[in-house]
């Protein structure tokens, strides 16, 4: 087993899992099916995770040469967040003589088909945002360097991860509302089955649970203003009995918050007098709303830059910088102390 500052090798993984190095190569190269058992594959992945093993790709680059091209995979091109992320990633790549190809996965967070005849021949590495690691198998070949953004570190064996501290952002927003005296809180959650939104829900739930007289209701909505308006209208209408209607809404996205604004107007509720609202992202939309939106600022450009630096480190055979990127709450006029009739 690797000790001290020694970088773990495939031999260390094989020894820890009780298998051959060939089996480790098959499993971490995703070529194990039909060749080793599922139980063995599980042991190898767990051993690699426990040891913090990542393949040393420097030798591969020297052997095969370099195209100086990085593929950035995002769920969509229609959001401001991913446009900013691309800007940050491309800037760092250009500083190091790399080009960036931007590729939206047609299936969102699901499987991503390669835009190239042979991704491994055309690319030096992949930077993928807000996707499941196994969704990128078709892009990686067997060893293509991969860095995951906004992804669960526990499910990305063989890939480095770079994350915003999204859990802390959700905690900051919820704690802000609780500090203002709100005790009936609605979480308008993004109806997207991804790690990042699950993490936000956990943080909101834990923060509300820590206050004895606080209650939490949850409604789900697609990430769109119209979808959020419908979901928020339904939730706020359903909770109309005395003492039940939420006095604050914490939203997973600024677009969801904009939908809450429209729902509030339809229901005759004033923001923030009757309903305080927080968002997430700090898009341009946040200051276009009236009143301006209290929201968790996610620096997407910085996020993309950190992700690209991590991938360049992997390409050089180095360890990427560890630790989540801090986020912070920007308090504006959409939140106020709870109104007491």
* Tokens found for residue 130: 């807000």
Looking at the DSSP bridge assignments, the partners of residue 99 are 69
Cβ–Cβ under 8 Å, residues 237 and 267: yes
177/180 Cα distance (integer angstroms): 5
Residues 297 and 328: beta-carbon distance below 8 Å: yes
Sheet holding 328-330, edge to edge: 215-221, 184-190, 248-251, 276-281, 294-297, 328-330
Q: What is the pTM of this model?
A: 0.76
List of residues 6+ apart from 224 with CB closer than 8 A: 255, 259
Give residue for tokens 């089996």. Answer: 23
Nearest to 306, CA basis, from 41, 110, 89, 154? 89
The mean pLDDT values, 10 residues at a time, for the chain of 341 residues are 62 89 77 81 88 64 65 84 94 92 68 52 81 60 76 74 95 98 96 91 97 95 95 87 83 97 96 96 96 97 96 86 93 91 56
pLDDT recorded at residue 111: 47
Pull the structure tokens for residue 199: 């993490």
Q: Among candidates 20, 14, 21, 29, which has minimal Cα distance to 60?
A: 29
Q: Token digits for 29?
A: 């190269």
d(CA 245, CA 252): 20
Burial code (b: 16+ CB inside 10 Å, e: under 16) for 6-39 equals eebbbebbbbbbebeeebbbbbbebebeeebeee
Domains of the chain, CATH where assigned: 10-51 (no CATH), 66-163+301-323 (3.40.50.2300), 166-297 (3.40.50.2300)
């Amino acid at each position: 087993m690797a000790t001290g500052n020694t970088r773990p090798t495939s031999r260390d993984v094989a020894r820890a899992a009780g298998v051959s190095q060939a089996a480790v190569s098959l499993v971490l190269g995703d070529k194990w099916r039909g060749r080793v058992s599922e139980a063995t594959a599980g042991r190898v992945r767990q051993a690699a995770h426990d040891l913090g093993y990542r393949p040393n790709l420097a030798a591969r680059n020297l052997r095969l040469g370099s195209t100086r091209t990085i593929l950035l995979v995002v769920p969509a091109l229609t959001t401001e967040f991913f446009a900013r992320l691309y800007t940050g990633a491309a800037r760092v790549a250009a500083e190091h003589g790399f080009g960036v190809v931007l590729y939206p996965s047609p299936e969102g967070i699901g499987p991503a088909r390669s835009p190239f005849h042979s991704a491994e021949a055309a690319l030096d590495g992949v930077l993928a945002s807000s996707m499941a690691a196994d969704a990128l198998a078709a892009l990686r070949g067997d060893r293509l360097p991969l860095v995951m953004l906004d992804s669960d570190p526990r499910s990305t064996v063989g890939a480095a991860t770079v994350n915003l501290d999204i859990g802390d952002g959700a905690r900051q927003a919820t704690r802000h509302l609780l500090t203002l005296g709100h005790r009936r809180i609605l979480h308008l959650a993004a109806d997207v089955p991804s790690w990042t939104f699950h993490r936000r829900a956990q943080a909101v739930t834990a923060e509300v649970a820590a206050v004895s007289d606080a209650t939490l209701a949850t409604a789900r909505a697609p990430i769109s203003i119209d979808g959020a308006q419908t979901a928020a209208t339904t939730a706020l209408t359903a909770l109309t009995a005395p003492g039940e209607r939420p006095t604050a809404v914490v939203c997973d996205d600024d677009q969801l918050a904009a939908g809450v604004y429209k729902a509030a107007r339809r229901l005759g509720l004033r923001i923030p007098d009757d309903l305080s609202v927080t968002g997430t992202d700090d898009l341009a939309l946040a200051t276009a709303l009236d009143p301006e939106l209290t929201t968790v600022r996610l620096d997407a450009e910085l996020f993309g830059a950190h992700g690209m630096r991590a991938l360049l480190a992997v390409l050089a055979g180095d360890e990427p910088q560890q630790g989540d990127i801090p986020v912070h709450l920007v308090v504006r006029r959409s939140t106020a102390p709870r109104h007491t009739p």
